[in-house]
Structure 1
């Protein structure tokens, strides 16, 4: 009974989450919450001091723990060169909406409104997995706002028929949702197996249960709806093309979104896209191969950084005085208000 009692007093996951939070604070970021005024609340880690001489960089997470866990080990590579923003997508972390929309398009519009509330109108963007779906939609809807985009292991160009054609290792969306939103240690082990080439072995179930309790039990139904909406009726022939410089970044052994989707995405974007493949890496390439991941991002995002910085400083005003930390909310009137 001792381990069970210990988990009531100590949570490794919660402790790790606290460490990441401190690392974000130490990196010069602060927690900010924006009320978009339509039943939608967006949380984001934003710079404590916004510098007009720097370009802005938006780091968008995928399914998984939360944004801090996915980008915590990479902040140090970018905070000196960029005004870094790390949001929680809707139904993750501290972001939520009472509206019924579940599309990546709605996520993108909400994120753009949130960035505008912080005075940012031009930025580069990195999207991991589901974050890439949202980032691509943002680049398509607001081409003047997104300068460069990195799409990492993001099956943006998948089609509904791909499931029937056997492209994925799961039989249907229900099984995919059960794995991506694990509620049992067995499902979490399965997710780890799909996400990493060399998943951690012998992790006690007590630690997996703790992780699930802290990270995977909130907004489960809403997240299932996000997954269901993602694939329903999706056809590549109807998918918009983006024109921004694009880096497609992939693990060569991705079992969630196979590498074929990476090449499909590169071909769909066309001449403005380049692709980089990280060897011996799975879907969680940002965690499994952090050095290679950061190297590719820095090389792509900092190219022509002087011109990017100049354009950013002329088009992105500093934070408005109404922007406050997480204990406050600021209402937003935006030209992108949804009807």
Structure 2
């Protein structure tokens, strides 16, 4: 009798161990080495005119698995293949913050050893940049946090119209991991970038043949200013320059876009900011180009992706390729464990 009881106990223990092992296998998380975060795509995600995702999708996650992410951007999927994940976050700070929070909260994925790679296009600052440049970002600033005035309300109508408020500092300025940014920059700084003849002509005509305006595009380090407002013009450019100076950013204000500081805030709150990398390319300038005005630019359907764009000439597709030439070196280094 005792022998039977012992045998039954052994069988029950073995069965429990087997069920536990099976459960552990079923709940094993997918390890993510790098999460690529573009913001929008033009048309299909593959095999047509490239938006922010296409080159990276085709190179790293095409034919991989696709996962629905609860609470993220409606209709978009997280693509996963061989440790690389890609998700289109949607545009603007709210969309990107909610998307990344939803992804990080998804228990199917293991982000403990992950790098977070934000990629996209941007507008860029005069004199320091030209269209087609690619930037390794070292600090992110929120354009909208603080106090803003309309310059028509100012005593000095030529003065800057942004006023710093320290109460927002924990969210309005994020210094990225400088050691990581420097490693990335050393890896990519000599990447040869391209431009177009039309872009050179537009830059030359807009900026009176200034030497800086007609140089070849290159890889640089810089600070980005994220605004939910798609702003443009000399007054807000002055505000962006003031923001970088006020926060003590390590590199000059270079780009304005709509998402990167929001991603930085989310990663910081999850304790993951030290693994955040931002690679952005310039597809237009932060001031009005070639005689354009707010009224004639934004009252028409002037797609940045059009070769006839008043705002970006025909640089969009070339700048996206430039971005991928730089960014793929970073992603490849992460995959190989060389970063």
User: TM-score, normalised on structure 2?
Assistant: 0.31
User: TM-score, normalised on structure 1?
Assistant: 0.31
Q: Whose Rg is larger? A: 2
- Structure with greater proportional strand content: 2
